């Protein structure tokens, strides 16, 4: 299923020359596991020369060393050199063993994986087909290794949205159902683990759970309940539960796995990283940021100690911790970690390796969300350049980079530049996949979003409808991606106040979600929110309240009580009550939401703004001006700290605080706030019309200049 992550260790008799070979092979494996690929390559090259001298250049044993060196070259981005070595290893094995010998499969599959990683699907396909045929002939059509080969080939077809993937997956799951779920118990743990992973991939969670529980029971019976291999089984089962948002069940398993590992190993052992990381992800999903941070830091320390500070595994840990900080708006801390992760990958793989481009994506996203547009643009341009060099200018992965760059320009309202880049990405995907491919629909949706952001609703609608037609044809009406496009078209109808059409689409999307997930799944709550927002926009408060209450109930059931998704639901429901002047009910909900945010983040964050502003509005309507002022000032400070004092988003807080002062007749305090807001607004070059409040303020100033006496707003 995956490219191996360990160098093949070749056993050999112990004489002087072969002892040297084993030493070099062991040294190569150590360097490989430490991520020191340049040094590992040097040792592997030396080992290959010794093997060629010891056995002869065309001996089958030499093929092992060729494959080892090819794997290291692949990780260094030396794809041409890796390809040459794999082809040579294949030729040696074919000549010595015959073209259909099972030992030939290793070279065939690795060459096929290399081509697939490069996007050379035409070259990968015959190799993966050949590997499947050889193993079928040697092992029989129902062997679990054959099932794995079927998966590899089906995945290749699925990536191209090739219809041939369907029959392969059907055959694959026929084997699984027969071998793994049949009357005869399957006692092969490796086969059970492989089958469970395949079921999980196809979201057949019940079948995967059944098999993983079997593996867990087998390990507990054979090794005892506290063996570290039992911890591996617990982690695998917990990961399955996490995929299904069964957070409570997953957390219990991860905690037990960690307790076993801590008992079995010293506290800083590398084998504990999986348990620590899994539990950290659970805590992060629950917004238990302090607990997650402690675990992620512990994983980072373990990896640095056991693998060395420059290992790519350390970069992965840095990314995890950086994403945790980013989710808390701790941009400075996140930036430091992402930069270090990037530096590690540049050193390990080379500055122009496509894996470095993947690392740049994290840093670019951080800069974009922090409105550091120049820095983000430089990062995205570099990422695009790397992928063009690695894959060619017309490769689909280049189109992905173009989407990021276009999205950056769109967020700056540079619509012409964004449109040109989105269209280039569309052309690449049409050329690579054909005009009716779901990835083409992605480009059409991007163009629809672009036109929608310019209020060009007719053009946006046309693109969204075209994308929907493609997804309906290729994916079917019950696919989750199709439901996303339904939402996009529904948003267009909302902008045009075509509420009936919008309602029909949102209900259709909700039905898809309820069919794909359980009715009390958090993803269903998102669709319920959309319908609630629709009814709210039409002042149908009773209907909106019903949907928001249902969404809140789902989130309270699915998540821990202090989850920020619960707080968002409380805010939405509070706004409904506020719109109906039910201030007591609204105030209670906003206070509860704010309390959740304060408990989760422990300091002011952007997430709190809705609660702060809405609670401030309630106090203002009740003429509790001091309380309202404190909340509006706090909201303004959050914007300024997070995004800077001159960002467009600050204008909303300036206007709200200025409006509060106008209500009290405090014109001296209001005037500088509106002036600053208007200056920021004009500087931003926004396409949006001047907010009504600023227009009123300008009229107000004109009246004052004419000598008119202005009273406080009642």
Please write the tens of the pLDDT for every residue from 400-430.
Answer: 999 999 999 998 889 999 999 999 999 999 9
Residue 43 CA to residue 21 CA, distance in Å, equals: 10
Mean pLDDT within 486-496: 86
The per-residue pLDDT for 176 is: 73
Residue 349 CB-density burial (10 A; 0-12 exposed, 13-18 middle, 19+ buried): buried
Which long-range contacts does 403-407 make (Cβ < 8 Å, 24+ apart)?
403/442, 403/443, 403/446, 404/361, 404/364, 404/380, 405/377, 405/380, 405/381, 406/446, 406/450, 407/368, 407/446
Mean pLDDT within 515-523: 77
Comparison of pLDDT for 557 and 104, the residue scoring more: 104
Query: Going by C-beta distance under 8 Å and a sequence separation of 6 or more, which residues neighbour residue 465?
Result: 489
Task: Please say if the pLDDT value at position 658 is more than 70.
Answer: yes
Residue 565 CA to residue 550 CA, distance in Å, equals: 13
The per-residue pLDDT for 192 is: 78
Going from the C-alpha of 670 to that of each of 538, 551, 651, 683, 695, the distances in angstroms are 32, 39, 13, 20, 14
Residue 269 CA to residue 351 CA, distance in Å, equals: 31
550's tokens: 């249902």
328's tokens: 């808390």
The per-residue pLDDT for 187 is: 64
Task: Please say if the pLDDT value at position 10 is more than 80.
Answer: no
CA atoms within 13 A on the CB side of 350: 15
- What is the percentage of the chain residues whose pLDDT exceeds 70? 90
What's the gap between Cα 120 and its chain centre? 25
Calculate the average pLDDT of the chain.
Answer: 85
Residue 111 CA to residue 92 CA, distance in Å, equals: 14
The per-residue pLDDT for 35 is: 67
Angle at which helix 273-285 crosses helix 247-264, to 10 degrees, equals 150
Task: Please say if the pLDDT value at position 486 is more than 90.
Answer: no
320's tokens: 């995890």
CA atoms within 13 A on the CB side of 680: 21
Q: Which of 430, 385, 429, 390 is nearest to 405 (CA)?
A: 385
What's 503-550 look like in SS3?
Answer: HHHHHHHHHHHHHHCCCCCHHHHHHHHHHHHHHHHCCCHHHHHHHHHH
Task: Please say if the pLDDT value at position 691 is more than 70.
Answer: no
Query: Going by C-beta distance under 8 Å and a sequence separation of 6 or more, which residues neighbour residue 597?
Result: 564, 567, 605, 607, 608, 611
Mean pLDDT within 212-240: 93
**Among the ranges 201-210, 221-230, 648-657, which has the highest mean pLDDT value?**
221-230
Instruction: Classify residue 688 as left (phi > 0), alpha (psi -120 to 50) or beta.
Output: beta
**Among the ranges 197-206, 242-251, 390-399, 626-635, which has the highest mean pLDDT value?**
626-635
Comparison of pLDDT for 509 and 643, the residue scoring more: 509
pTM score: 0.72
Is residue 352 classed as helix, strand or coil in its secondary structure? Answer: coil
The per-residue pLDDT for 15 is: 67
Please write the tens of the pLDDT for every residue from 111-141.
Answer: 998 888 876 788 999 999 999 999 999 999 9
Residue 169 CA to residue 174 CA, distance in Å, equals: 8
Mean pLDDT within 457-484: 85
Please write the tens of the pLDDT for every residue from 229-240.
Answer: 999 999 999 999
Backbone φ and ψ for 685, nearest 5 degrees, come out as 65, 30
Least confident of 30-39, 91-100, 344-353, 508-517: 30-39
669's tokens: 């305090």
Instruction: Compute how many other C-beta atoms are within 10 angstroms of the C-beta atom of residue 663.
Output: 17
Task: Please say if the pLDDT value at position 178 is more than 50.
Answer: yes
The per-residue pLDDT for 433 is: 83
Could you tell me if 128 and 136 are in contact, meaning their C-beta atoms sit under 8 angstroms apart? Answer: no
The per-residue pLDDT for 713 is: 46
Going from the C-alpha of 415 to that of each of 407, 409, 454, 548, the distances in angstroms are 10, 7, 8, 35
Please write the tens of the pLDDT for every residue from 55-90.
Answer: 899 999 899 999 999 998 887 768 889 999 999 999
Rg value, the chain, Cα: 30
Angle at which helix 331-349 crosses helix 354-369, to 10 degrees, equals 170
The per-residue pLDDT for 558 is: 67
Is residue 496 classed as helix, strand or coil in its secondary structure? Answer: coil
């Amino acid at each position: 299923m995956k490219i191996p992550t360990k160098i093949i260790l070749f056993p050999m008799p112990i004489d002087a020359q072969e002892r040297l070979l084993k030493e070099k092979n062991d040294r190569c494996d150590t360097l490989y596991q430490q991520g020191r690929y340049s040094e590992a390559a040097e040792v592997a090259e030396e080992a290959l020369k010794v093997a060629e001298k010891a056995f002869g250049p065309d001996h089958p044993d030499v093929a092992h060393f060729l494959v080892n060196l090819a794997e290291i070259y692949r990780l260094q981005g030396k794809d041409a050199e890796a390809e040459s070595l794999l082809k040579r290893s294949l030729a040696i094995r074919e000549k010595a063993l015959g073209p259909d010998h099972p030992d030939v499969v290793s070279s065939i599959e690795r060459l096929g994986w290399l081509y697939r990683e490069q996007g050379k699907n035409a070259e990968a396909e015959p190799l993966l087909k050949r590997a499947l045929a050889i193993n079928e002939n040697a092992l029989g059509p129902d062997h679990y290794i054959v099932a794995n080969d079927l998966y590899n080939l089906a995945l290749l077809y699925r990536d191209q949205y090739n219809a041939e993937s369907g029959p392969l997956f059907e055959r694959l799951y026929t084997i699984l159902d027969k071998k793994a779920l049949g009357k005869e118990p399957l006692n092969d743990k490796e086969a059970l683990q492989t089958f469970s992973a395949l079921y999980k991939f196809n979201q057949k969670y019940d079948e995967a759970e059944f098999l993983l529980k079997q593996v867990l029971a087998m390990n507990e019976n054979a090794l005892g309940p506290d063996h570290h291999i039992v911890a591996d089984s617990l982690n695998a089962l917990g990961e399955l539960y996490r995929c299904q948002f069964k957070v409570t069940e997953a957390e219990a398993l991860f905690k037990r796995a960690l307790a076993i590992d801590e008992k079995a190993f010293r506290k800083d052992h590398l084998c504990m990283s999986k348990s620590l990381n899994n539990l950290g992800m659970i805590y992060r999903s629950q917004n238990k940021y302090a607990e997650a941070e402690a675990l992620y830091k512990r994983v980072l320390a373990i990896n640095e100690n056991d693998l060395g500070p420059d290992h790519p595994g350390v970069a992965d840990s840095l990314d995890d911790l950086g994403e945790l900080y980013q989710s808390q708006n701790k941009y400075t801390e996140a930036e430091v970690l992402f930069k270090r992760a990037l530096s590690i990958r540049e050193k390990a793989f080379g500055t122009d390796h496509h894996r470095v481009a993947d690392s740049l994506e994290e840093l670019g996203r951080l800069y974009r969300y922090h409105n550091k547009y120049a820095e983000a643009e430089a990062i995205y341009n570099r990422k695009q350049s790397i992928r063009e060099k690695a894959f060619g200018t017309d490769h689909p992965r280049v189109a992905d980079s173009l989407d990021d760059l276009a999205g950056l320009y769109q967020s700056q309202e540079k619509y012409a530049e964004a449109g040109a880049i989105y269209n280039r990405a569309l052309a690449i995907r049409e050329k690579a996949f054909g005009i009716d491919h779901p990835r083409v629909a992605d480009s059409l949706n991007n163009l629809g979003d672009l036109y929608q952001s310019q209020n060009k609703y007719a053009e946006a609608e046309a693109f969204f409808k075209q994308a929907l037609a493609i997804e309906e044809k290729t994916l079917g009406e019950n696919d989750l991606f199709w439901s996303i496009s339904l939402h996009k078209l529904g948003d267009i109808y909302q902008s045009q106040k075509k509420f009936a059409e919008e309602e029909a689409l949102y209900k259709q999307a909700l039905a898809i979600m309820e069919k794909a997930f359980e009715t009390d799944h958090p993803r269903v709550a998102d669709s319920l929110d959309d319908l609630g927002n629709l009814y709210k926009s039409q002042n149908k408060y009773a209907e909106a309240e019903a949907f928001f209450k249902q969404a809140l109930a789902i989130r309270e059931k699915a998540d821990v009580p202090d989850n920020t998704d619960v707080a968002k639901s409380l805010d939405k429901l509070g706004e409904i009550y506020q719109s109906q002047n039910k201030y007591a009910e609204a105030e209670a909900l906003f206070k509860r939401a704010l309390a959740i945010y304060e408990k989760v983040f422990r300091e002011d964050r952007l997430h709190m703004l809705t609660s702060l502003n809405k609670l401030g509005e309630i106090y203002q309507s009740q003429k509790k001006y001091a309380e309202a002022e404190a909340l509006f000032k706090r909201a303004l400070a959050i914007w300024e700290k997070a995004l800077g004092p001159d960002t467009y988003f600050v204008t909303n807080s300036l206007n709200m605080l200025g409006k509060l002062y106008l209500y009290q007749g405090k014109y001296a305090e209001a005037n500088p706030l509106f002036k600053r807001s208007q200056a920021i607004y004009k500087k931003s070059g926004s396409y949006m019309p001047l907010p009504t409040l600023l227009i009123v303020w300008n009229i107000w100033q004109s009246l004052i200049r004419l000598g008119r006496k202005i009273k406080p707003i009642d």
